[in-house]
Structure 1
Amino acid sequence: MKKRVKDGYVDGAVAGEEDSLQAGFNQGFREGAAQTVAVGRLKGIASAVSCWCQIQYPERPIPASVCDLLQQIEQYENTILEGLQYALENPPPSVSSVSDSVEDLDLKQPDSGCCGEGCKETDCCKRGEKMDLDVPHQQQKPRTWSTDCSSSSSGTVNHLVQRCMDLVSELGLPQELLGHIEEVKNV
């Protein structure tokens, strides 16, 4: 009977670990794909425009505006990939590591004998709160790549989309291509 219980426990732990790993993979894949799909589509469209220029005008070099747009898209793509790599190398702290850090600070509960505003103690918790109120505090959000990237990424993607649309118009390409480029904004 003990062997069955032990085997059941081990099987349950293994199944739980596998489920947790799969859930983590699924979440990471969704987040990574969401950040890279728009730039991937835009890069594909810009590469197609570059190929079109080579086929239509083999005697002329590819216009500098096309090459410049492709370079900017690749730089942005590299920025996203570096951010994803950074997020993998520096995961957010776990609850246990945060609680260990708080325990290491050796914080003590304030004395229950504190009598509030009229307290005569110099190191009283209420006096400390009052002094803290006089000092201007600035709320600082913890800086993570995903929040930094998501706040500026839509602006960068929109800028690259606009440049691509301008390029398509400049080269006199079919107007239906503009619809495909516009779809990148909605990804």
Structure 2
Amino acid sequence: MVPPFDSDSDEREKPSWRDIDRKRDRSSHVSRDEHSRSEKSLRSTWAKEQYLKKVDKLFQGGKGSKEHKAARNAIHNNYGTSKFASSVKKYLKKYGIPDDWGTLMLLLDYKDDEVVVQVIEALKEIAPERSPVERQGFRDKLEILAITASSSPIISLAEKLSREL
């Protein structure tokens, strides 16, 4: 049988909410300076990103510079215009064959057969890393090149690769 409820027996010392909060604030498990820690975390993340950008530029050599970015953008901006060939020529003279997929795909429309062969080879190397949609676009472009190119090395290479992909 349960004893009747006696309010006097339940009069133990209960801490107020203020006391509970105060004890929690003094705990060594709770951070006292959470605002400054988050700022430090953000600063360290930003510093790490800046450091990694600088390291990437160092290893890229000339291809990490603002001039390189401007030359690459000139190719993209002049695609389909009369300035495209001169933009590509300047880029190739200074930096060689580009590394990025988008620029390489544009260079498939360049008129120099030797460059187009090099571009096809470069795209072939990085195609396995690309998405299925991008590989399909490359395959379609090769099929178009096989039909429209005037150079037999380009035609044979394009036909061969379009079957392999």
* TM-score by shorter chain over 0.5: no
TM-score (norm 2): 0.27
TM-score (norm 1): 0.24
If asked which structure has higher relative contact order (CA below 8 Å, sep 6+), I would say 1
- Structure index of larger Rg: 2
